Every structure is written in C-alpha cells, then in structure tokens.
Amino acid sequence: MFTVRTRCSESLARVGTLRLAHGEVQTPAFVPLATKGALKLLEPRDVEALGYELILGNTFHLLLAPGPEVVAALGGLNEFMRWERPIITDSGGFQVFSMGHGTVADEIKGRRGRAGNGQDGAILAIDESGVRFRSYVDGRERMLGPESSMQVQAALHSDIALAFDECTPFHVTREYTARSTERTHRWLERCLSWHGEHGPADQAVYGIVQGGVEYDLRLGSAAAVAASGCDGIAIGGTLGREKAQMHEVVSWVTRELERLAPERPRHLLGIGEVDDLIAGVEHGIDTFDCAMPTRLGRHGMALVPDPKHRWRVDLTKSAWRASELPILDGCACPACARGFSRAYLHYLLRSGELTGQRLVTLHNLNFIARLLDDLRGGIEATRLEAVAAELRAGGTPGLLGVGAD
C-alpha cells in the first residue's frame, strides 16, 4: 500500500505514494481535520481544490453523533459527507482518555491540538476492556475499547483505521507510562485480531507508538508496533515540553522504524506548526494531522512566512483596520488571489461574519499545502536541506520554485 519513490541522502525524509481504497496520497502530506465529519466552514470540494488527498475523521465524536449505524446506512463516511478521496479515522482513544486526564489533557491539547478533547463527558471506569464513559451529547453511558473502536471505524469504512490507544499525559510517572504503553500494545493485538476477522479488507490499520519522553519505552514501543504486522505506524502521546524535545522524541522513533520497518508509512499525530512540519519531514514522517491551520483560521490568525512570529499574523488586530494588503502577496489561495484586503477580512472577523473565518481558513490550508509541496519538491530535487533552510528563514511556500506536482 506504500511505495517510497525518493529517499533523501542527508536525512530520513522521503517521498512516497500511499495507495488506499479511495485513491492515492502523495507523501509527505498534511491531513486536514474533519473531526465530526465536516471540514469546519468548508465543503469537500474546497479542500480538494487546494490539493489535499486525505482528511481525518474522529471515531469518538462520530460514535456519539450521528452514530456509526447512521453513517453505515448512508454508505460509509465518504458517501455520508461527500468526500471522494481517502479518509483516516482516529481511534477515539485520545478523546476518551482526555476526559479523565483533565487539566493535563488540556495542556497537551494546547500543544498538540489533536481533534479536541471529550468536552463535558466523564470517565466512569478504565480497565483492560477499554473505557466506560458518559456521553457529552446525551448523558448516556457508553463504552469504547479496542474491539468497539475498530467496529465503529469499520462502520465508518475509513481507508485507514487507527488502533485504540491511551495517549499518556505528560505529568505521570515513568511507571504509569510504561504500564500504559504495554496496555496500548495489548490493545493493538486485539484491534488487529478483530479487524482480521471482521474488518473491511480494503481498510488499512495503523498501530500507535507511545512511551512518553522515555527513550527506552519509545524504542520498545516502536519495536512492538513494528512486530505486530500493522500496515502503518503512527506516533502519538506526549512528545515533550519544548519543541527541541518533541523533535528529538520523534527522531528516536523514526530512526528505529527506519531500521525495523522502513517500507511502512509513518503518521505523526496532532502535530502541524510550520517548523514542526519541516522538522517532521526531515525525520521521515509521511503524514501529519493537526487542528492548527483550521483552528487558527477561525480565530482570525493567518499563516504568513514570518518565523519570528510563529508564522502567523492576527488579522483581528486594529493595525489592519484600513490595510489594502492581501494576507500574503503572491498567494494563490481563494482569499489572496481574489484580492480580499486585510481591512475587509479584519472587518469581517471583528463583526463575527463567518465568511471572514472561512477565507482565512482557506488561506491557512493553502499555505500548509504549498509548504508540503515545497518539501516534497525539495526531496525530489535532492535539495531538501536548502529548501528547508529557505522555508525556516521566511521563504514563501509555493514561491520557491521547487513545488512538487
């Protein structure tokens, strides 16, 4: 299902093609979120037009509403939401455990933004079989565990299902992380066994590497997941407090996976800031999902090639009240190419007009899509190091003259 086309000689970066039930995905690729079966403010055709080939839906939210039986009766998630390209579904483990991890989960969510937490639900019990919890939708008692998560994902009929895992929070002991990681490995075996017997034959299953920020636990987890025979491998959990530590933890895992399972695709969960994407590609990550570009867009923050300000500009600031400038000169997104000024967007955002949020969301998704094009092009042209340096220094994605495709 995965072919590596070009490998970078200076790093683990690679260009490849994922062949999935609903089509191909050129990697490295960013994966926009359709957490509840909708790309907030957008239609599928908007996201397709920006060049995206894969989106992510969430098992936890879709289990609670509208319910997997409704989605299955309407022909699966693709048919239900009218998206024709591949879909990956998150297992629900992150959301269901977030309810219990409380403030710690919020801390991670702020950093990682993986498809939202459990909001007002509550965990009733956690054991080897899974998690019993109260639904934030209707207060009903529900259960999510390895088999039920796979069952929901089978009903959604996503192209890629993720195994049910516990996303271990940052503020726990090494012993807790070790026990939790072991259980995640046992759950992976149960997910694969359920899927082998009942799952759709055209659905791939990714296992998830956990292990917190512990070197040996991460390596052990990478080995266990690689040995399980799953189709692809995701990296989840707490990756550290600082970016440098996060990049290091990712590099431990990808170096080990390069040794143990070099031909299998690698997904990094919940990571998507511009510098993290560049570093992730260099560390050999093939796909990334993150709420960042779309969530920022809804808050009026636009992505721009400005590393000093974390690649973002706040269009709600009064500095833009009368600005004739587009968000970004030369940007081909629907907001910039059609000449919407910062003043107009500022006004829309301050007035709570959804059109403003939609235009900034489109711009942000275009920015990230072009960034990944440039990184793919850089690998193909065997000059990733130079391209990455240019992007880190404030080069405009899509205008470096290296974009792939």
For the bound state, the minimum distance from the C-beta of residue 379 to Zn ion, rounded and expressed in Å, comes to: 25
Which residue's CB is nearer to Zn ion, number 205 or number 328? 328
Which residue's CB is nearer to Zn ion, number 40 or number 363? 363
Sign of CA dihedral 226, 230, 233, 235: negative
DSSP state of 396: P
For the bound state, the minimum distance from the C-beta of residue 330 to Zn ion, rounded and expressed in Å, comes to: 9
For the bound state, the minimum distance from the C-beta of residue 386 to Zn ion, rounded and expressed in Å, comes to: 24
Q: Could you say which of 165, 231, 276, 289 is catalytic? A: 289
Q: Could you say which of 90, 231, 276, 373 is catalytic? A: 90
Reply yes or no on whether 374 is catalytic: no
For the bound state, the minimum distance from the C-beta of residue 397 to Zn ion, rounded and expressed in Å, comes to: 10
Please give the C-alpha separations between residue 3 and each of 52, 198, 262, in angstroms, as whole numbers.
Answer: 19, 27, 10
d(CA 317, CA 340): 17
**Residue 239: which of 273, 272, 214, 267 has the closest Cα?**
214
Counting Cβ atoms within 10 Å, is residue 250 exposed (0-12), middle (13-18) or buried (19+)? buried
Which residues lie near Zn ion (CB under 5 A)?
327, 331, 333, 335-336, 363
Which residue's CB is nearer to Zn ion, number 152 or number 313? 313
H helices present in 74-214, as ranges: 77-81, 93-112, 146-156, 174-198
Which residues, in sequence order, are CB contacts of 170 under 8 Å at separation 6+?
A: 104, 107, 108, 212, 213, 238, 240, 241
d(CA 284, CA 11): 8
Which residue's CB is nearer to Zn ion, number 20 or number 302? 302
For the bound state, the minimum distance from the C-beta of residue 387 to Zn ion, rounded and expressed in Å, comes to: 20
Identify whether the C-beta of residue 294 lies closer than 8 Å to the C-beta of residue 275: no
Which residue's CB is nearer to Zn ion, number 104 or number 399? 399
Reply yes or no on whether 289 is catalytic: yes
For the bound state, the minimum distance from the C-beta of residue 363 to Zn ion, rounded and expressed in Å, comes to: 4
Which residue's CB is nearer to Zn ion, number 50 or number 131? 50
Catalytic residue ranges: 90, 289
